[in-house]
Amino acid sequence: MLSIKRNKIIEDIFIIIIIVIIPLIYTRKTPDNQIVLRFVLLSISLFFFSLLIYLKSIKNKKLRVRSYPFYFFLIVITYTIISGIGLFYTVNLTDGIFSFSKIILFGILIILMFLNFDDPILLINKLTKTFTVLGFLIIIIGIYQLIDLSISESISHNNLYKITATFGHKNIFAQILLLCLPFSIYVLFERRILWKLVSVFNILSIVILLTVLMTRSVWVAGVLAFIITSVIGIFTFKSNYINIKKLGLFIVPLIILILATAILYSKLDQSSAFKKQITKTFKFNYGSTKDRIILWEKSLELAKEKPLLGHGVGSWKVDILKYGNQNLKSEDNLIFYQRPHNDFLWILCEQGIIALICYLSIFLISIYTAIKLLKSDIKKEIKIYVLLMIYALVSYLIFSFFSFPMDRIEFIVFLSFIFVSLISLSNSLIINKKSVIQTDTKYLTIIISVILLLTILLGSNRLNSEIHLKKAYQARAKNDWNTLISEIDKSDKIVYKIDPFSTPLSWYRGLANFNLGNYTEACSDFNDAYIINPYHIHVLNNLATCKGIANEYDSALSLYKQALEIAPNFEDAIYNICGIYQKLNDIDNAISYLRKVKNPKNKARYNKIILILIKQKLNAIYKINQEEKIKIYIHSILENNKAIIEMFHDSIKNNYSIMKHFYNCFIIF
C-alpha cells in the first residue's frame, strides 16, 4: 500500500514537471531561449518516467489495446516512420534529426502516459488541475509584464509583442492561453472552493488577455472552434444535458467582458489597434497576412517538386530560399523565414502528402473517438471534458493553419496529454469493442528508455552548441574574430551545422577568417557553408568574393548572379558584380547592373561606384575621341561629381543608356 502511494506521488511529480515546470523554464544563453532546453528537460523527465513504468511492469503486466487506440497508435507510428524516411535525403540533416526527435518525443509521451494510467478518470483529474495551475502561473507573469509595460513605456499594439510570459512570442503565449481555457472551464465543476476560484480567475484573465494581445489567429481559432464544438454538442448531448439558461449566464458575461476590455484598451491605445486588426484579418494583401500568403504560395511550389514524400524533415528553411524573397519582409536580407507559418504546408513540403494525411488522421480519429464517447453512456462530467477537448483540438488545428505550434515543446506536451486522455477513455469506457492487441509493457519500456537516452545525448550536444553559438554572436558584435572562431569550433558539427536563421556555422567562421586576412581558410569555410545551404545569399556573396580575390572571375560572377536570382535587390552582390566587371574593363555591363539598384541603402557606396564607373567610361571616350569639343565637355564633367551622378540618374529616369544620355547632354552643351 505504501509502495502504491509512493508511486502515485512520483507520478504527480513527473506530471507537474512536464506540464508546469518545463514550459516555464528558459535560458538567455542560446539564440532560441526555449526549444532545445525544453527538449532536453522533456527527454530526461520521460526517461526517468519510463524507468518507473518499467519497475511497475516487472510482473509481466499485459496491456490490452482496443480498436480506436490501436488505430490511433498505428497512424502515429506510420507518421513517425514516414518522417524518419526523409532523413535519408534531406538537405539539412542536423535540423532534420532534431525535428524527427521531437516527433519521437510526441509519440513516447503518449505511449508512456497510456501505459501508466489504467484509470482515465484519475488521469483527467490530474491533467485538468495541472494545466489549470500552468494557466494560472503564466497569466500572473503575463499580467505582471502588461503592468510593467504600462508603467515603463506605453500601451500600444507594437509594444504588446513584449508580453510573452515565458514563451518566445506574443502569439505563442496567446495560443497557450487558449489551450489552457478548456481545462480551466472543466475545473469549475470541482467541489473545492479554492479550485473554483482559480478556475474563475483563469477564465476571466484568459478572456481579457486574449482580447488585449490581439492575436488574430487565436481570435479566429477561438470563435470557429466554439461554433464547431457547439454544433457537435447539440447533436451528441441529450437535450436534458444542456441548460440554456446556465450556458447563457456563462457566455453573456464573457462577451460583455470582451467588449469592456476592448473599450478600455482603446482608451489607453490611441492607434485604433482593434479596428486595424479586424480590418487586417480580412485584407489579404496587407502586412503579415500578405507575407504569409506569399510564403504559402512558394511552399506549394516547393511541395509540387516532391509531393509524395516531401524534401525531408528540416529541409524547408533551406529549400524555400531558392524561390526568392521578393515582396517579403525578408527582402531586407536580414530576415530568414524558418517555417511557412502553416504547420500543414510545412509537413507537406518536408514529409509529403502521405505524412500530412497521417498527421491529420491523428486529429480526426481523436475527434471521432471523442464523438463516440459523447454518444456513449458515460458520466455527464466526462462528456463535458470530452467536448472541451474537442474544442482544444479544433482550436489547435485552426491556429496551426496560421502558425507553427508543432515546432514548440509546450505544444507537444499539450497535444500528447489531450490525445492520451481521449484514447485512454476510449480504451476503458467503450467496452463493446474487443482488444485488438496485447503487449508486454516491460520490453516496450526498455526500447523507449534506450531511445530517450539517445534524445538526451542529441539534445545536450545541441544545447551546448547553441551556447557556443550565442557566444560567437557576441564575439562578432565586438569584431573579436579569434574568439568567434574558437566558439564555432567548440560546437558539435555532427548535430548542429546551421543556426536558427538558416546560416551555416561555417559561414561565421569564414567571416572571421576573412576579416583576419586568412583568405584561403575563409574560402574553405564559405565553400563548406555553400554545401550546407547553397541558397543563402550571404554565403553566395562571400564565397564569390573569395573567388574574386583568387582571380576566379567567372566563378565569382556566377555566384553573385545566383544571389541576385534569390534576392534581386541585394545591393552587396550588385556592387561586387560591378567591381568584377570593372576589373575586366567591361564598364557597360557594370553600369547595366548598377542601374538595377532602386533605393540604395548605402548611398555613399552607391555614389562612389557611380563616379568610378562613369569616370572610367568617360576617360575611355576621351582617349579615343578626336573631337575637341567632346574632349572639353568630358573634361568639364570629370571635374563635377554632382553632374556625373545627376547624369546617371537622368539616364535611368529617361530610360536611355548612359552614352545616349551623354551625347544628348553634349548636343545641348
pLDDT at 617 over 50: yes
According to DSSP, residue 433 is labeled: S
- For cell 572639353, the residue is 632
Is residue 195 scored above 50 in pLDDT?
Answer: yes
Report the distance separating Cα 328 and Cα 568, nearest Å.
12
For 34, the grid coordinates are: 526555449
* Structure-block grid coordinates of residue 20: 508546469
Quickly state the pLDDT bin for 492 (edges 50, 70, 90). Answer: confident
Q: pLDDT by residue (tens digit) across 312-364? A: 999 999 999 999 888 788 777 788 889 999 999 999 999 999 999 999 999 99
Q: Are the C-beta atoms of 118 and 56 separated by less than 8 Å?
A: no
568, 538 in Cβ contact below 8 A? no
What's the distance, CA 669 to chain centroid?
60
DSSP letter at 65 equals E
Q: Measured over all CA atoms, what is the biggest interatomic distance in the chain, rounded to whole angstroms?
A: 112
Per-residue cell: 279: 480590418
Tens of pLDDT, residue by residue over 6-30, are 667 888 899 999 999 999 999 999 9
Sign of the dihedral through C-alpha 164, 167, 171, 175: negative
Measured over the CA atoms of residue 483, residue 485, residue 491 and residue 497, the dihedral's sign is positive
Strand (E) or helix (H) holding 382: helix 380-400
At 134-160, the pLDDT tens digits run 999 999 999 999 888 888 877 777 788
pLDDT of residue 660: 63
Q: What percent of the chain has pLDDT over 70?
A: 85
The domain 482-668 belongs to what CATH superfamily? Tetratricopeptide repeat domain (1.25.40.10)
59: pLDDT confidence band, cut at 50, 70 and 90?
low
pLDDT digits (tens, 9 = 90+) for 594-615: 888 888 888 888 888 888 888 8
* Rounded average pLDDT over 495-500: 92
Give the three cell numbers for residue 283: 485584407
Separation of alpha carbons 105 and 126, rounded Å: 21
CA torsion through residues 397, 398, 401, 402, sign: negative
pTM for the model = 0.90
Domain ranges within the chain, ordered by starting residue? 2-457, 482-668
**Cα–Cα distance, 563 to 540 (Å, whole number):** 6
What would the mean pLDDT of 60-85 be, rounded to a whole number?
83
At position 561, the amino acid (one-letter code) is K
Contact 422, 386 (CB under 8 A): yes
Instruction: Give residue 380's pLDDT.
Output: 84
- Length of the chain as a residue count: 669
- Residue found under cell 557611380: 610
* pLDDT 10s digits, 391-401: 999 999 999 99
| Structure confidence by residue, pLDDT tens digits, 621-651 | 777 666 676 677 667 777 778 877 887 777 7
Locate 447 and state its grid cell.
526500447
Rounded Cα distance, 155 and 485, in Å: 42
pLDDT tens by residue, 223-258: 999 999 989 988 887 655 555 555 666 677 777 766
Distances (CA, A) of 256 to 198, 253, 259, 272, 403: 21, 5, 5, 20, 29
